[in-house]
Amino acid sequence: MPRILALDGVSEEGITILRDASFEVDIRPAQKPAELAAIIGDYDGLIVRSPTKVTAEAIEKAGKLKVIGRAGAGTDNVDKDAATKRGIIVMNVPGGNTISTCEHTFALMFALCRNVPAAHQSMMEGRWDRKKFNGTELAGKTIGIVGAGRIGGAVAKRAQAFEMKVLVFDPILTKLKAEALGVELVSIDELIERSDFITIHAPKSEKTNDLIRAEHFAKMKPNCRIVNCARGGIVNEQDLANALREKKIAGAALDVYTSEPLESNPFLGLDNIVTTPHLAASTDEAQLTVSVDIAKQIVDYLTTGAVVNAVNVPSMDAETAKQLQPSLVLAERLGKFVSQYMKGRPTALQIAYDGELGVTDTYPITAAILTGFLSPLVESVNAVSAPHLLKEYGIEFSETRGAAHPNYAFQIRVKAVTDQESHEIAGTLFNGKEPRICGIDGTRVDVELVSGMVVCTNEDKPMVLGRIALTLGEAGVNIANLALGRKAAGNHATTVINIDGTMDRSVLETLRKVPHVVEARFVQV
């Protein structure tokens, strides 16, 4: 009889589904990582909401664990790489909290523009400060939506009902789809400059970390108000606090934070901000939906093997999964690399398989590439939803099979075409298990496809590599590995550097100023 550990207040209706399937269910409150690690070894399945962090250390102790179910959409609190390595399926419930998050966005927006918290506090203190709390209307204003997925699309629809003009920044939304939504597709800079309200509905990734920061607050309208119910860190909190304190913008409302629970609060003492403790998904309806759905998915998986809404593996039988695992890791990382390496709005994605893959059906590998490609760009993508999302966003897709490469048993080439440029990244497996990049835009390289990577295009001249390494060293960035490639002497060369950890975006700007460096980009896989 499978044993399930349910944490973080999973709804009783979900618990009932599990017990009706003859599962043994233990219910506990949120667990700290060390606490979870101490007990997780006894369970076949785990269900969490957002409070509990399922770390690599905990997963390492999960000797029996087969499935982790996230009762919600976001899986930031689950170490998916660690789970995948242990053969543990990670499932979520995409869309279960769409309405609740959308409505909370408007709740914060209204609270902010009508001064509801301050007016309430004034009344509780026995005052009648009617003239003090003059507000502003939504009607006729321009709202800028960052991210037009499920939640962002729902916000756009309701904003139009409030007679607002809707601007959208979304790196993969096509003009045709934007027209269907009745919104204007703009750049992030144009959205920043034109919006009276800005609301965030993008996933957290390397591309969206500190997406809105000091330079953007300086360009906003003085009456602009910003709302974030997505993920902490997309809006730089310290820069936001400074902008509010200096009255560069009219106000802000936050439900999410870089560190949760919020420990060091930079907003204390400010009267132009509204904060809530990550409540966007906390409605009776949303919690019921996600609890019931994740319970059903876990029952199906543990009783029949059916995989639904898995975020870390495609649907397939156990033997095929074992055989393909190294190729799936390579595929997803190639997709992530291309997605982060490109600039501009993607219009086409082309996948080419050269050589013998060991399987007739490339769907699982292709699904892994698409998942990796979309994961930095959209919320809650998985192997099942990725092809649909690619089509939904109007990105053309093609797949080809070719003869073996002269230097490799097989290789995978992923080419992304955007409205600004195109790039092709080739990858293979070393010793049948280690993912490697073997080509960038036709230039042969050999570098581990792991962790953070700095990619520099530079003129093939003496001292350039030394200056690049010196720049990284002076910035405190440790070089783990390095690869060089060029098509011909005296032409442009490609330098790929594996680094330990991540690095500040300012280092890239410094690298671009190094003599003979043409471009520098950072990718985190």
The whole-angstrom separation of Cα 466 and Cα 464 is 5
What's residue 297's pLDDT? 94
CATH number assigned to the domain with residue range 450-525, chosen from the 4 options 2.60.40.10, 3.30.70.260, 3.40.50.1000, 3.40.309.10? 3.30.70.260
Question: What is the location of CATH 3.30.1330.90 in the chain?
Answer: 313-435
What's residue 126's pLDDT? 96
- Is 225 a catalytic site residue? no
Q: What is the pLDDT of residues 337-359, one digit of tens each?
A: 999 999 999 999 999 999 877 66
Asked whether 366 and 233 are in contact (CB, 8 A), the reply is no
The whole-angstrom separation of Cα 426 and Cα 343 is 18
- CATH number for the domain whose boundaries are 98-275: 3.40.50.720
Contacts of 487 (CB under 8 A, 6+ apart): 442, 443
User: Among 209-213, 306-310, 346-350, whose mean pLDDT is lowest?
Assistant: 306-310
> Distances from the Cα of 317 to the Cαs of 65, 88, 306, 314, 387, in angstroms?
18, 14, 9, 10, 20
DSSP of 401-464: EEPPPSS-SEEEEEEEEESS-EEEEEEEEETTTEEEEEEETTEEEEEE--SEEEEEEEES-TTH
What's residue 319's pLDDT? 66
Asked whether 276 and 255 are in contact (CB, 8 A), the reply is yes
What's residue 360's pLDDT? 67
What's residue 87's pLDDT? 78
- Among the listed residues 260, 399, 434, 448, the single catalytic one is 260
- Is 206 a catalytic site residue? no
Neighbours of 469 (CB within 10 A): 15
- Is the pLDDT at 389 greater than 90? The verdict is no
What's residue 123's pLDDT? 95
Cα dihedral 312, 280, 191, 249, rounded to 10, equals: -140
Average pLDDT in the chain: 92
Mean pLDDT of 134-143: 97
User: Among 43-52, 376-385, 455-464, 484-493, whose mean pLDDT is lowest?
Assistant: 376-385
Q: Cis ω on the peptide bond leading into residue 261 (within 30° of 0)?
A: yes
Question: What is the location of CATH 3.30.70.260 in the chain?
Answer: 450-525
- Is 231 a catalytic site residue? yes
- Among the listed residues 231, 413, 423, 436, the single catalytic one is 231
What's residue 314's pLDDT? 66
Single-letter amino acid, residue 1: M
Q: What is the pLDDT of residues 426-482, one digit of tens each?
A: 999 998 889 999 999 999 999 999 889 999 999 999 999 999 999 999 999 999 999
Asked whether 428 and 446 are in contact (CB, 8 A), the reply is no
444 DSSP β-pair partners: 439
DSSP of 155-167: HHHHHHHTT-EEE
- Is the pLDDT at 312 greater than 90? The verdict is no
Judging by DSSP bridges, how do beta strands 165-169 and 410-418 pair with one another?
unpaired
What's residue 213's pLDDT? 96
Residue with tokens 């003239």: 131
CATH number assigned to the domain with residue range 313-435, chosen from the 4 options 3.40.50.2000, 3.40.50.300, 3.30.70.360, 3.30.1330.90? 3.30.1330.90
What's residue 158's pLDDT? 98
What's residue 447's pLDDT? 93
> Distances from the Cα of 212 to the Cαs of 191, 232, 462, in angstroms?
11, 11, 38
Question: What is the location of CATH 3.40.50.720 in the chain?
Answer: 1-95+282-311, 98-275
- Among the listed residues 49, 150, 278, 333, the single catalytic one is 278
Q: What is the pLDDT of residues 218-267, one digit of tens each?
A: 999 999 999 999 999 999 999 999 999 999 999 999 999 998 888 889 99
Contacts of 125 (CB under 8 A, 6+ apart): none
Look at the pTM and tell me if it is higher than 0.95. no
What's residue 114's pLDDT? 96
CATH architecture for segment(s) 1-95+282-311: 3-Layer(aba) Sandwich (3.40)
Question: Considering only CA atoms, which of 89, 128, 105, 78 is closest in space to residue 297?
Answer: 89
DSSP of 21-33: TT-EEEE-----H
